[in-house]
Amino acid sequence: MELPCLKDFTLPQLEDWMESLGEKRFRARQLFRHIYVRRVTAWNECSDLSKTFRTQLEYGSRLDALRLLESHRSQDGTVKYLFALQDGQRIETVMIPDAPRTTLCLSSQVGCAMGCGFCVTGSLGLQRNLSTAEIVDQACQVQKLLPPKQKITNLVFMGMGEPLANYDAVMGAISVFTDPNGLDFSHRRITLSTVGLVPQLRRLGRESPINLAVSLHAPENGLRSQLMPVNRTHSLEKLMAACREYPLAPRKRITFEYILMGGLNDQPRHARQLVKLLEGIRAKINLIPLNPHEGCPFHRPEEEAVLHFQELVQKAGYTAIIRQSRGADIEAACGQLAARHSG
């Protein structure tokens, strides 16, 4: 039987587990601080715990959910980490330094079931969901690998998988990330990106104030269904209705991610359709020129087309930022994560 990983527990869950072991509930807060603040690697480092309890933890639980296999550093400073899971599956996590920020791009699934035509991960299919521990441990492991003065400042669920398709584990991880006794991130520093699973998106709006990003990539149903099969179930009409009703704090906006593909969705008419589609939504748009991968049927747009697209969206009053994907030379850019192992 596999031992429980303590990073699987939110604080209330760990309090309940402590009680089940006959320990006081406050022990859970102690363990959280040891795991997430002190970042202990062995229980014998914890002198405030009794020897009997430390032995019980050592033989009755696990501290880590992941094992680093390899890492690759891009010319732009981006680092891609390949992690092994307990069952031999693999995931990739990407660290993007952009002083004063250090952003960690988290995976939420092994593979992905969404099948987006421009994404390598989607071509792999879904192997399984990640556990809360496997999501949380990405941040813990990478932070340990960084220089002492470099801290992860932002978390984005934009790695492998569709986070809203693994809702409970992702929300468990967010609870650990934001707990003052845990990793103590502000909700303002966490962004979840979704292709638009409407029921879960509505639930997220009710249950968490983290930032929302929506992977749009096309402004009309026919083209979006061609690129993103999810649109056949959750149409643009349903998705935009959910976005219009999404509860936002006064100065918050929904980010819409739009990968520009040459001759396919980068024309002036697409920009005008996008503006009309977003009417009534507090939005900003990230325009991302495609990073083609081997076998990708689409190609990168011309720079002139990208700039003209941006101009048309900005003239309509929206913030539109051109995002150059980081880490393309190590296959760490948007849509390129595949968790291949070179060894």
For residue 42, give the 3-state DSSP assignment: coil
Which among 48, 42, 44 has a CA at the least distance from the CA of 29? 48
Active site residue 334: yes
Catalytic option among 23, 92, 162, 331: 92
* Sign, CA torsion 236/238/240/246: negative
Cis peptide bond N-terminal to 219, omega within 30: no
CB hemisphere CA count around 183 (13 angstroms): 29
Annotated catalytic residue, options 5, 112, 140, 334: 334
Cβ neighbours around 246 below 10 Å, total: 18
Q: What is the DSSP letter of 2?
A: P
Residues 78/336, Cβ–Cβ less than 8 Å = no
Which H/E stretch holds residue 271? helix 268-277
Rounded to whole angstroms, the Cα distance separating 36 from 61 reads: 16
Per-residue burial over 252-266, b if 16 or more Cβ lie within 10 Å, else e, is ebbbbbbbbbbebbb
Rg of the chain, C-alpha, whole Å: 21
116 is catalytic: no
Spatial CA neighbour of 290 closest among 336, 255, 338: 336
Instruction: Name, in order, each residue with C-beta under 8 angstroms of 147's C-beta and a sequence gap of 6 or more.
Output: none
Hey, which residues are catalytic here? 92, 334
